[in-house]
Amino acid sequence: MTAGIINVLKPCGMTSHDVISFMRRVLNTKKIGHSGTLDPDAAGVLPVFAGTATRLLEYALEDGKSYRAEITFGVKTDTGDDSGTVVQTSALPTCSAEEFTAVLQEFTGVQKQMPPMYSALKLNGQPLYKLARKGIEVEREAREIFISRLELISFNPQKAVLDVECSKGTYIRTLLEDICARLGVCGTMSFLLRTSAGGFKIEDAVTLQELEAEPLRYLLPEETAVMHLAEAVLTERQAWRITQGVATSMAGMADGLYRLKGQSGEFYGIGKAAEGVMKGVKILHQADKPQELI
**168-202 confidence digits (pLDDT tens):** 889 999 999 999 999 999 999 999 999 999 889 99
Residue 294, pLDDT score: 61
Residue 114, pLDDT score: 87
Residue 267 pLDDT greater than 70, yes or no:
yes
> With contact defined as beta carbons under 8 Å apart, do 93 and 157 qualify?
yes
Residue 56, pLDDT score: 93
Q: Band of the pLDDT at 1, cuts 50, 70, 90?
A: low
Residues of the chain above pLDDT 70, percent = 98
Residue 278 pLDDT greater than 80, yes or no:
yes
Residue 232, pLDDT score: 95
Give the mean pLDDT of 223-240.
93
Residue 206, pLDDT score: 97
Residue 204, pLDDT score: 96
Active-site option among 39, 63, 78, 81: 39
Residue 290, pLDDT score: 83
Residues of the chain above pLDDT 90, percent = 77
Mean pLDDT of the chain: 92
Residue 61, pLDDT score: 65
- pLDDT tens for 102-148 read 999 999 999 999 888 777 777 777 777 777 787 777 778 889 999 99
Q: Band of the pLDDT at 60, cuts 50, 70, 90?
A: confident
Residue 121, pLDDT score: 75
Known active-site residue 81: no
- pLDDT tens for 3-58 read 999 999 999 999 999 999 999 999 999 999 998 889 889 999 999 999 999 999 98
